[in-house]
Amino acid sequence: MNRYSDTGRTMRLDPDSFASGYFRNAVYRHWDPYRDIPDELLEQDRERLIEREQTEAQFDGLRRTLALFGAGEEAVTEDLAPMCIALDDVDKQMFLTSQLYEEAKHTAFFDRYWREVIDPVAEAHGFEVTHPTDERYFNDSYVELFDRTEAAMHRLLEDDSSEALARAYCHYHLVVESVLAQTGYYGIQASWSPTGPEVELPGEPVHLEGLVEGITRIRSDEGRHVGFGMHEVQRLVAEEGVDPDIVQETLGDLLPLVAGIVDDPDNEVDSTYLVEYATEKLQRRIEIITDREAKIPPIEELVHVEGGRDVSAD
C-alpha cells in the first residue's frame, strides 16, 4: 500500500478516461453568464422587442419558452446531486461537479434574461408583467416529466444499481437534456435568428442576438452532459448487463410527455416540426446507446443546431 492508501492505481486520476477528457473540456470552455453575454447585447434584444409589432399572445409565446427553459435548468441543478453520491469514480465525480456548476450558470442566464429583457418589454408594450414561475406556462406533461426525473434521480440515494443508474441517465441526460432541450434550442434558433431553420411563425421576425448567444454557450455545455449520459448508458448496457429493453421502455414512456410539452395547444406556433424533430432525435440516440460498437458523436455534433454557431470553433 502506498502512502496515499490508493491500492487501485498509483495516480489519483485517469487522464485517458472519457470523463476526465470531458472535465478538461469543461474547464477550457468555461464562460461567465454575467459578463460573456454583454449588457449591450441584452439591451439590443430589449430594444428590438420593444420596437417589434406584436400581440400580447405572441409575446407570451416567447415568455413560455423562456419560462420552461428557466424552470428546467433550475430543476436539473437541484436534481443532479444524488448521482454524485451514487457514482464512486473520481473522474466521473469531477465531471459531474462541472455539470452541476454549469446547470447553475444556465439557471442564472435565464433569470437574468427575464429581469433585463422580458419584464421591461412587457411594461413598454403595456402587457401584463408575468413571472417565470407562473403556473400558466407549465402544462401537465411538463410537470409530469420533471416529477418523474426528480424521482429517478432521488431513487439513486437508496438504489445505485446499474438499472437504477440507467433509468436516471435516460430521464435526465437523454430525455430532458438531450431531446427536450435540444428541441427548445432548435425552436429558438428558428424563431429568433435569421440563420435558423425556416419555419412559418406569427409576428414580425426579430433577431435576438443576446438570447441566441446565451443559448449557443449553453448548448456547448450541454453537448458534454448529453455525451456523458450516452456514454454511460452505452457502457451499462454493454458491460454491466443492463437490459436494453429497460432503456427503450424508459425512453418510450417519456417521449409522449416531450411531445405534450412541445405541442402545447395554447402555443400559436404550429409545432409539428418540433415534435418530428424531437422524435427523430430520440430515435437516433437510442440506436447509438444500444449498440456497443457505435461511437458517441463528438460534443459539437450532439448539440448542433441548423444555422447555429458552434462554440468549439471560437
Q: Please check whether residue 292 is in contact with residue 233, taking contact to mean a CB–CB distance below 8 angstroms.
A: no
Query: With b meaning 16 or more CB within 10 Å and e meaning fewer, what string describes 269-308?
Result: bebebbbebbbebbeebbebbbeeeeebbebeebbbbeeb
Give me the half-sphere count of Cα atoms (radius 13 Å) on the Cβ side of residue 243.
4
Q: Does 74 bind Fe ion (CB under 5 A)?
A: no
The yes or no reply on residue 29 touching Fe ion (CB under 5 A) is no
CB of residue 74 vs Fe ion: minimum separation in angstroms?
10
Query: Considering beta carbons, is residue 54 or 98 the nearer one to Fe ion?
Result: 98
CB of 176 to Fe ion, least distance (A): 8
Q: Which is nearer to Fe ion, 45 or 103 (CB)?
A: 103
The residue (of 110 and 137) whose beta carbon lies closer to Fe ion is: 110
Question: Which grid cell sits at 291?
Answer: 449498440
Min separation Cβ 173 and Fe ion, Å: 8
Candidates 60, 74, 79, 103: give the one binding Fe ion (CB under 5 A).
103
Binding residue for Fe ion, selected from 148, 219, 225, 285, defined by CB under 5 A: 225
**Closest distance between Fe ion and the C-beta of residue 35, in Å?**
19
Toward Fe ion, which CB reaches closer, 92 or 225? 225
Q: Which three cell numbers stand for residue 144?
A: 409530469
Region 205-224 residues binding Fe ion, contact defined as CB under 5 A = 222
SS3 243: coil
Residue 106 in contact with Fe ion, rule: CB under 5 A: yes
Grid cell 411538463 in the structure block, residue: 142
Q: Which stretch binds Fe ion (CB under 5 A): 48-56, 63-71, 101-109, 306-314?
A: 101-109
CA nearest 106: which of 81, 135, 154, 69? 69
Angle at the Cα of 99 (from 293 to 85), degrees rounded to 5?
Answer: 85
Separation between Cα atoms, residue 299 and residue 290, nearest integer Å: 19
User: Whole-number minimum distance, CB 104 to Fe ion, in Å?
Assistant: 9
**Of residues 77 and 234, the one with the C-beta less far from Fe ion:** 77
Q: What is the per-residue binding string for Fe ion in 165-184, x denoting contact by CB under 5 A?
A: ------------x-------
Segment contacting Fe ion (CB under 5 A): 89-97, 104-112, 154-162, 268-276? Answer: 104-112
How many angstroms separate the Cα of 159 from the Cα of each of 79, 87, 164? 15, 11, 6
Is 46 a binder of Fe ion (CB under 5 A)?
no
Interaction of residue 155 with Fe ion, rule CB under 5 A = no
Distance of CA 277 to the CA centre of its chain: 15
CB of 308 to Fe ion, least distance (A): 16
Helix axes 209-239, 244-262, angle to 10 degrees: 160
Q: Which residues bind Fe ion (CB under 5 A)?
A: 73, 103, 106, 177, 222, 225
